[in-house]
Chain A
Amino acid sequence: MTDLSVSAGPIVSARGLSKSFGRKQILHNLDFDIPAGRIYGLIGHNGAGKTTTLNAMLGLTSYEGTIRVLGEDPFARRAQLMENVAFISDVASLPRFLRVRELFALLTNIHPNFSQEKARQFLEGTDIRPEMKIRTLSKGMIAQLHLAVVMAIDAKLLVLDEPTLGLDITYRKRFYRRLLEDYMTEERTLVITTHQVDEIEFMLSDIMFIRDGSLILHMQMETVSEKFTQLVANEPETQAQARALNPVYEETRFGQTVFIFDGVARETLAPLGRLSTPTISDLFVALMQRPTANPERAR
């Protein structure tokens, strides 16, 4: 039914991906494959290695191990790859001295897959006009312009590193709406990092949690709901029974005790209280605190 049979292999494939800055190792042996047509959420604390991983994918940093993007080594073949890869990063900036139309003309010259016409279409309905200088745009408008530019590039992989940082909720919603409405197809792949993970939770098809440079979870969202269960148990007896089943996490909030279980059957848990699938942010907090966690990170 779905046209997911694009069996051209993974869009991104990493084996033993490692990175050190001086003596400090930032990434520890990451292995992962990102298939086409997915929306990936890359989640981790500040400094956990998310941006370094993305930079390795984009050929912006050297690394040990191997990484292939669309079958190519991004560091060696960055220029060629950029024809099929687009990205927005929280530090990327557009040349502020240009007018919007000048930016489009520049991009048409340097990027073979950039469509000026599409970019203009995406700006319809915004307050951005071709004659405006980028310098005069508000932060929200710059984000809109950035998105319009990136969506006008016919890319197979779009990498978004904190794309909505500093934007208000209305802009954030519009941003993701735009992406889903006008960009996402079965042939395209999206990798997103964001601290506002609850806002994109249901957009994601897969998640990767990075903790201290290691990949501690890489899973399809569907599998997450099969594997992990959240239980709210309010009676001391049921709480004791819950503890006996080795929850990965326990927290008392507002008089309710919440447990998260990994791989415990829902039928076993059902008599103990109310069950649900944990949100990504709850799961993230839970897994960040598993015993092997770096103690200074535990809260």
Chain B
Amino acid sequence: MDDFHTSQPIFVQIRQRLIEMILRRQVEEGDALPSVRQIAADLSVNPLTVTKAFEALVDIGVVEKRRGLGMFVTTGARAGLLAHEREKFLKEEWPRIAAQIKALDLDIKDLAAASTQQGEQTK
């Protein structure tokens, strides 16, 4: 099966993949996203699940449905997404990460050193 870990609903995971596609510019603003049918077939998931993921993106104005044509990335979607994802990260994920940092007794110097090191390796 696919790499869906069962701790998160699948539509959330699909939504996240779509967001990543947009953030990484795999799909540009104004371009069409893959169809519900295609994603459902690619991932062996229920089409309703895919529709739900799209709807979540329509709700935040990142994606628009064009009748008969499919789903498109809106203009300004990237900027909007970045703001949305940043806020979500700080609100939902950061507290948990911060707690872990605290539990592991890491300080800002360790983290800075680690991220510099990582930066050199990747970019």
Is this pair of chains taken from one and the same complex?
A: yes
Check A275/B37 contact, CB under 8 A, given A2-B48, A37-B48, A200-B44.
no
Q: Does B51 contact A (CB under 8 A)?
A: yes
Answer whether residue A204 sits at the interface, using C-beta atoms and an 8 A cutoff.
Answer: yes
User: How near does chain A come to B70, taking the closest CB pair, in angstroms?
Assistant: 13
Knowing A198-B1, A202-B45, the reply to whether A180 touches B65 (Cβ < 8 A) is no
Residue of chain A at shortest CB distance from B38: A181
- Check if B6 is an interface residue, CB within 8 A of chain A: yes
Are A202 and B10 closer than 8 Å at their CB atoms? yes
Inter-subunit contact A177/B1 (CB<8 Å)? no
Count residues of A near B (Cβ-Cβ below 8 Å): 30
Q: Is the CB of A180 within 8 A of B7?
A: no
A1 in contact with B40 (CB, 8 Å): no
Whether A48 is near chain B, meaning CB under 8 Å from some CB there, is: no
Q: Which residues of B contact A241 (CB under 8 A)?
A: none
Complex contact B47–A276 (CB within 8 A): no
- The contact size tier of chain B is 20 to 34
Q: CB distance B6 to A202 under 8 Å?
A: no
| Closest B residue, CB atoms, query A230 | B6
Question: Which chain B residue shows the least CB distance to A176?
Answer: B44
What 1/0 mask marks residues of chain A from 1 to 40 whose CB sits below 8 Å from any chain B CB? Answer: 1101000000000000000000000000000000001010
Residue among B9, B37, B41, B55 facing the most chain A CB atoms (10 A cut-off): B41
Q: In the bound complex, do residue B55 and residue A202 qualify as a contact, i.e. CB atoms below 8 Å apart? A: no
Is there an interface contact between B44 and A221, defined as CB atoms closer than 8 Å? no
Contacts of B48 in A (CB 8 A): 2, 4, 37, 205
The CA of A202 and the CA of B3, in the complex, are separated in Å by 11
Counting CB contacts under 8 A, is B100 at the interface? Answer: no
Query: How distant is the Cα of A223 from the Cα of B9 in the complex, in angstroms?
Result: 11
Question: For B7, what are the chain A residues with a Cβ–Cβ distance below 8 Å?
Answer: 274-277
* Set of chain B residues within 8 Å of A276, measured between Cβ atoms: 5-7
A2 and B40 contacting across the interface, CB-CB below 8 Å? no
Cα–Cα distance between A176 and B43 once the two chains are bound (Å):
10
Instruction: Name the residue on B nearest A204 (C-beta).
Output: B46
Asked if A294 is at the interface of the complex by the 8 Å CB criterion, the answer is no
Contacts A39-B46, A177-B44, A180-B44 known; A201 to B1 CB distance under 8 Å? yes
B13-51 to A contact mask, C-beta < 8 Å, 1/0: 000000000000000000000000110111111111101
7 contacts between A and B (CB under 8 A): A2-B48, A176-B44, A200-B44, A202-B10, A203-B45, A274-B7, A278-B6
